[in-house]
A and B are shown apart, each in its own frame.
Chain A
Amino acid sequence: RKEVEQDPGPFNVPEGATVAFNCTYSNSASQSFFWYRQDCRKEPKLLMSVYSSGNEDGRFTAQLNRASQYISLLIRDSKLSDSATYLCVVNHPNAGKSTFGDGTTLTVKP
C-alpha cells in the first residue's frame, strides 16, 4: 500500500462545477499536510496548507480528518484555469521529508 493515495481521476467537469478530491495517508503520526498544484510540464507549486480546523482560500477549501487519515480539497465555481494535477503531500513526523501522492488530474471544460 502506498503511503499517500489519491484517486487519479481524471475528473472532467464543466465550468462552474464544484469538485472534491480526497487523499488518504497511512502514517498516523504524520504532522503536516499540503495540496500542491502541477500544470502540464511544469513544477509542482504549493496551493495551500491543510489544517485540522479546515481552511479556505477563495474558492478552495481544504480539510483534514486525522481520525480517518484523509485530506480533502474542494474547489467551488471551477474555472478553466483550474485544470491541472493536484498533489496531496504528507510530511513525516520528526523528519524533513515530504511524500507526494500520485496526483488527481482535473480538466475543466467550457
Chain B
Amino acid sequence: DAGVIQSPRHEVTEMGQEVTLRCKPISGHNSLFWYRQTMMRGLELLIYFNNNVPIDDSGMPEDRFSAKMPNASFSTLKIQPSEPRDSAVYFCASSDNSGANVLTFGAGSRLTVL
C-alpha cells in the first residue's frame, strides 16, 4: 500500500487566493482526518469523516475553510480566501476504525500564504 497520499507537498500563494489540498486515504480505511500543525498551536484537528460523512468539524477555524469527501478514496480541504495566518503544515490521516483508532498520516502539505 502506498500509504496516505497528499498533494501538493508544498504550496506558496498570495493572500486572497484559493487553496485546495488533496488527500487519498489508505484503501479500506473508513475514517479520514485533517490536521493542521504550527509551531504556536501544535497539531490541531480540523475535521474528520467516517464513511465519507463529516462527523466533527468543530476544529475548522472559520467559514473560509471547507472540507469534502465525495468518495472513500478522496478528500479535499479548501481555503478561500487564504490569509497569511493560514500558513502551516496540513496533514491528512486515515484509520480503519478497528477500535484503537491508530492514525496513519500523509507526508503533509506545507502551505505558505504571503
In whole angstroms, how far apart are the Cα atoms of A101 and B43 in the complex?
8
Main secondary structure, interface of A, reads strand
**Inter-chain contact A100/B42, CB cutoff 8 Å:** yes
**Inter-chain contact A103/B42, CB cutoff 8 Å:** yes
Q: List A residues 54-110 near B (Cβ within 8 Å).
A: 87, 89, 91, 95-103
Main secondary structure, interface of B, reads strand
Q: List B residues 87-114 near A (Cβ within 8 Å).
A: 91, 95, 97, 99-108
Give A37 Cβ to nearest chain B Cβ, in Å: 11
**A20 contacts the other chain (Cβ, under 8 Å)?**
no
**A21 contacts the other chain (Cβ, under 8 Å)?**
no
Q: Residues of A within 8 Å of B, CB-based: how many?
A: 20
In whole angstroms, how far apart are the Cα atoms of A100 and B42 in the complex?
8
| Interface size range of chain B in the complex | 20 to 34
Q: List A residues 13-55 near B (Cβ within 8 Å).
A: 32, 34, 42-46, 49
**Inter-chain contact B100/A49, CB cutoff 8 Å:** yes
In whole angstroms, how far apart are the Cα atoms of A102 and B44 in the complex?
9
Give A96 Cβ to nearest chain B Cβ, in Å: 5
Q: Which residue of A lies closest to B59 (CB)?
A: A97
Q: List B residues 56-114 near A (Cβ within 8 Å).
A: 56, 91, 95, 97, 99-108
In whole angstroms, how far apart are the Cα atoms of A97 and B94 in the complex?
11
Interface positions of A (Cβ within 8 A of B): 32, 34, 42-46, 49, 87, 89, 91, 95-103
Could you name 19 residue pairs across A and B whose Cβ atoms are closer than 8 Å? A32-B99, A32-B101, A43-B107, A44-B91, A45-B105, A46-B103, A87-B43, A91-B101, A96-B31, A96-B50, A96-B55, A96-B95, A97-B33, A97-B101, A98-B45, A100-B42, A102-B42, A103-B42, A103-B43
